[in-house]
Structure 1
């Protein structure tokens, strides 16, 4: 475990480096035209975007520097060198590095959504190749209540690789969808990263010691650099993290979930993101009209955020749209206002749902509320993973 101690020291240094670089480099981003205006503020101040590339680069450099520490002793005895473990680490860092590059390209070029789905798929290919070479395990263990029909396990073959590719796509985009207010993207990533680290520490006593040690080698420096980024992205935000950060974060979580063999547990830590995705589906697929920005609406008079809204003209109210609006109304998941010509509902994001349920609130309070929800879902995830798991799987 001495390697973990060294990694913690390197991670502390990476926090300090990231914290130092962000204020020094942010003016370069503005000069390059990479800046935006905070739509939830009553000013037009230029705020640098895509700053997630700084924390991502420091994270990767820290991981590269750490490689000799992990494999230094093994290099002396080359016959016993763990080539499989070395390949896993390199593939993981390669996928994250690809996502850093592609995410920054998205921030610069403002790519369309169909490319946002393609990029994580391409970046995950090194990961899937190494998984095929080292493991190629495509078997799912069936929960106990269903074993009388499906058996103890089922081999789904190629579909397992489709599942892992979809996991990478979901993780990279889920954080990006639940975003738009100061500190939310970075905050939820910190909670998820901390949850994975706690899970790894708990599982170090088990028979998957190497897998969870591998996860810690990636998650600890990631958490350190993300904490430094959070310092500058918290309300009132001095920098915007951009799609780069969301992509790198999602791929990092997917990497440890896949190569450390606990992808289902990682998904449990994504419960708010899953809820937000399901809730947003009608607008994501343009069944319900979707504006370019679904951010909360800022009220300068009250200095509070309110739920933003979209209008559905009754002449465009198809049968499918009508059913969706009725279902959401019955479930009390929308705030609907109807007149003779149109129906006005809130935009379908978890952020707006919190605002219609709890009322208008300040931006920092809204962020804290959503992060508190993320923490509660983490506690639920651990409850499902440990006490409840014994009812579905043999311990």
Structure 2
């Protein structure tokens, strides 16, 4: 059965490209994570923390994939799409994943256990769902150009694996699959769809929570947060959305600055690949900064 096709609006002639290849990421990654849990539970292979974290991470990937697939099918309105990641945080909350001690830049190290049941409820019922929802939505908002939806989360995923080497085995296959999809996506052969972007974002958030690397996640996804902030501010204050235009030669440009994409090609015609690589370079910098801060902190 062929994959549904979507129009590549930023290519001359607007060719149709197979869409929804993020489903391969969901199936392969979740199968790998379930295998880790199975081998650890029945044969004692792997560290207890890795085995314990594999199950909720697999559940989150499946949740994210299903919600993204639902969006691909139904084209959910943005207000509903923004809230759907709350459902994907349920495995983390139900299985009490993460360590309820969080290092913050403003308030220092906070131990939520010191506040008793209210503190634990705050961590598991509010903070974890917020991290998952914000991360997933910001990842989902940066797309539309070949390679953006795959290369950017790959950079952050590599950084998270680097700052949590004892848990990095959980990301080995997800990173490998994402790298293959990134090559295919960057060259314009496939789109990953919302099924891909949702599951990528939830993987980042869930792994950071399981490995207790929320600070590294925050630094790594700063470009995502900046992009989403620009889009939302323009939408809610001036009721304007970002858009790209194309020259007869196929170069992209913009007459406004309402997102990272429009910022980098503001009144400067740029090829799609060059524009994508500039944005990816920002993620390389933020991911490297996340690694440096983690090991120097």
| TM-score between the two structures when normalised by the length of structure 1 | 0.67
Deviation for aligned residue 1:304: 0.8
Deviating beyond 4 angstroms after TM superposition, the runs of 4 or more aligned structure 1 residues are 84-87, 139-143
Q: Quickly say closer, same or farther: Cα 1:113–1:385, change in 2 above 3 A.
A: same
Instruction: Assess if the C-alpha contact under 8 Å between 1:39 and 1:298 holds in 2.
Output: no
| Equivalent position of 1:36 in the other structure | 6
RMSD across aligned positions (CA): 2.5
Per-residue CA deviations over 1:93-136 (Å, capped at 9, x if unaligned) read: 112211111111111111111221221101211211211xx67x
Paired positions, count: 289
Question: Are residue 242 (structure 1) and residue 193 (structure 2) matched?
Answer: yes
- State the 1:146 CA deviation: 6.3
Map residues 144-155 of structure 1 onto 2, 5 A cutoff.
Answer: 153=110, 155=112
Match of 1:167 among 117, 120, 131: 131
Measured after TM superposition, the shift of residue 220 of structure 1 is: 0.8
Distance in structure 1 (CA, Å) of the matches to 2:201 and 2:33: 17
Find 1:94's aligned residue among 34, 55, 59: 59
1:275 aligns with 2:226: yes
Distance 1:141 1:61, change over 3 A: closer
Find the aligned partners of 2:250 and 2:17 in 1 and give their Cα distance.
Answer: 20
Note the residue ranges of structure 1 that are not aligned, 5 or more in a row. Answer: 1-24, 76-80, 202-211, 310-345, 390-395
Gaps of 5+ in 2: none
Whether contact under 8 Å (1:173, 1:246) holds in the other structure is no
* TM-score after normalising by structure 2: 0.87
1:296-339 CA distance string (max 9 Å, x none): 2121x2321001x5xxxxxxxxxxxxxxxxxxxxxxxxxxxxxx
> 2 CA distance for matches of 1:257 and 1:377?
15
Instruction: Establish whether residue 287 from structure 1 lines up as the match of residue 234 from structure 2.
Output: no
1:124-157 deviation digits (Å, cap 9, x = unpaired): 11211211xx67x5444566x967xxxx746461
Query: SS of 2:265's equivalent?
Result: helix
1:69 aligns with 2:39: yes
